[in-house]
Every structure is written in C-alpha cells, then in structure tokens.
Structure 1
C-alpha cells in the first residue's frame, strides 16, 4: 500500500471480493458521468486483470485502474471531488511498477483524448489515428519500460518534449538547429515551457542553437516567454565549425528523461523518462560545447 500527503492510499484489490468497490467508482464515472453503456463498461477481461484501488483517509473508494493480460492500462477513473489531487498519478505509477515487476517491456492504453495530456506526463506517446469508442474519442498510446520508446511523427514528438520538460526537477539542456519550428512552437510545448518557467523551482533551461539569426527572424514564440524570464532561459549559438556540423538534436532533463533525434530536422527519434545513463551522456556532450559557444544577448531586446 502507498500513501501520500493528501491522505489517500493506493493498493491492489482482488476482483472477486472487491467488485462492489470497483463498481462504486467505475459506474459513477463512466456510466453516470460519461454515459457509457453499462454493458460496455464491464467485459470478459475484468476477472483476469490486476486492479488497483485508491481510498480516501476514511477508506472510501475514490479511484480505480487496471492492467489487462494484453499489457494495457485501462479503466482509469477518479471520483470528481478527488480529481487534480494526484490520485490518478499515484494509481498509474502503481500500475507501471506492477508491470515492471512482471517483466513487461511495454505498456499501451487507449486514452480518452481529453485525458491524453495526463498520460503524456507519464511518458506515454500517441500512435495511430484517433478513434471512437463508447461514443468518446480516443487515442492509442504506448510507453516502453526499461528502454526507449520510438518517436515516429510530430504528435509523438510533441508528447515526448512535453514529458521531458514537465519531468525536470530544475534543469534542462536543449540542442536545436533553430528552435525546431513545428515542435517548440506547438501549443502544448509552449504551455509546458510556461509551467516550467513559472513553477518557482528555479533552475535553468540552456538552449544551444545552430542558427540564432533564423530564430530571431521567425520571432519564435518561446522567445517572448524567455524575455520575461531571462534568468531561467539561456541561449547560445555554436561557433566552432565542428559543432555546427552536429546533425542531431535533443532535450534532456535532470531526472533522467530525454528525447533524442539522430537528424535534427526530423521528428523521428527516441525518448525515455527513465534513461538516466543516456540523458547523462547527452548532457556531458552538451557542456563543453556550451562553454565555447556565443551568448545571444540580441534575444533580450527583440521587443516581441
């Protein structure tokens, strides 16, 4: 069992003996709130699944989730009055840890589109086309366990970037050609940068650019935020010809998360929120280039 400062706890629950508690949450959220037909809410997989339940300090069920034999996360539900208090995060963390203990290499899920940002924070990336299930639009998502997840398109690239930014404790290191139009100017990424910049945790995001002039000409949206928080966002432009020839791009944080692209002008690459060794390697390669690169004071006076 795990507990937290809000007083709720999360633990596994036996399906047979715990069915009334599971029903009290799932039918409240899915059937009553979201109008999912009750015949679609309960399926033949339920008795075969690993279920977790969250309880409030008085022992009342407030959240549920499950792992299916197909190695999928599902039926994540939290009662309305407990949303936004970390219950879903704690349940998902418990399910991921259970999958790791079973030696699973990958987890997938079908997220309601409205909840995809929650799963992105936990390292899941979207793949495939959106689809409708029980009258609700969904997005398939996946995450590798104990290894990197492949990034194949822009939507997955945005998800990976957001996860690395929001996963930072304090520090971020970014190597980019020209602030990656289509990625760093995407609305979810800009919102992640805003949250990082206003979190009050201090720290610093260091950007190494290959073409600072192109960034300035494009009036990259991130520069407006950087102007308001100049001590947090630092920019330098590589000078050395060997550094300018570096073909890759990446973002890495101080908690072991990274997203790396072999070719910096493309979105495809790999990401891992638990890749401490690889993240450390990227940061160590970044530091000497940063020291010999040119600061970009012109970004402070753009007047954007």
Structure 2
C-alpha cells in the first residue's frame, strides 16, 4: 500500500536523502552540494512509501509568512508514471493547509509542468536553468 507522510525520524530523513541522491545526483547529474543544501535543516520533509520501502521524497519550507516552497519532489524511476507523485503533493498541500498557508510555489523541471498543472499549479515565469536543467516557476493558491 502506498502512503505519503511527514518524516518524523532520522532514519526516514536518511531515506529521503538517499532517494533524492538517486534521482537528482545519480540520474540527473545535479552536484550533491546543490541537492543537499542549507535549507534541509529547516524544511519539513516528506516521504512516499510502498509498504516499508521508501520510494519518493520532497520537502517544504516557508519562504515568507503563509507562503511555502515545494522542493525536491522525486519518485524512484521504477515507480514513475503511476500517478504516485500526486500522493506526496497531497501530503505537502495538506500540511500547508493545516498550518494556514495561502500559497505554494515551486520550480518545476520543464518536462514536469503538465504534472503540476494537473494539480492546479500555474506557470509564473519564463524558462530558466537551475543546476543546468530547464525549469519554470509555478504557484498555486490554497
């Protein structure tokens, strides 16, 4: 059974970091010092599980009062295309709503824009490079 949840142990956080390294560092070539950064210490982290196996991760941080930034959304390659990313995004949005946040922002890799548009995010910027990967800023009122 698939479940998205807030990270609440060091072991879960370590699993989240491992998933992020596999997806962003190993697959996409993002330097590890850019992937694991100073924001990890203050962000709320989420994992996606298939039973006991961690298969996805993301983080959320408050940019300014009641505005959050969703970052590092990823799912292991063998689980992609099964609409599981929606579960982790729902967990993120539920957390933000519960805490009274009014808007979520994110920088989507350009190929992933249709995924976020299905979740009612709107593109708010022209394309730009982040870690040498094309992105566009998006946001959603909640």
Q: Distance in 2 between matches of 1:94 and 1:75?
A: 14
Q: 2:58 aligns with which of 65, 76, 79?
A: 65
Unaligned regions of 5+ residues in structure 1, if any? 1-6, 146-304
* Cα offsets for 1:128-175 (capped at 9, x unmatched): 221100010000000011xxxxxxxxxxxxxxxxxxxxxxxxxxxxxx
Partner of 1:100: 97
TM-score (norm 1): 0.44
Partner of 1:259: none
Structure with the bigger RCO (C-alpha within 8 Å, sep 6+) is: 2
Q: Distance in 1 between matches of 2:56 and 2:8?
A: 15
Kindly report the root-mean-square deviation, in angstroms, between the aligned alpha carbons of the 2 structures: 1.2
More strand by proportion, 1 or 2?
A: 2
Q: 1:74 aligns with which of 58, 71, 87?
A: 71
The number of aligned residues is: 138
Contact 2:44 2:59 in 1 (8 A): yes
Given the superposition, is the C-alpha separation of residues 15 and 108 from structure 1 closer, same or farther in structure 2, using an over 3 Å criterion? farther
Question: Match of 1:143, SS?
Answer: strand
Contact 1:15 1:46 in 2 (8 A): no
* Cα offsets for 1:75-125 (capped at 9, x unmatched): 000001111222200000110111111101111000000101000000000
Q: Distance in 1 between matches of 2:73 and 2:141?
A: 19
Unaligned regions of 5+ residues in structure 2, if any? none
* 4+ residue runs over 2 A deviation: 14-19
Alignment of 1:1-150 (within 5 A): 7-14=1-8, 16-57=10-51, 59-70=52-63, 71-145=68-142
Q: Distance in 1 between matches of 2:126 and 2:58?
A: 24
| 1:28 to partner: Cα distance | 0.5
Larger radius of gyration: 1
Q: Distance in 1 between matches of 2:9 and 2:99?
A: 19
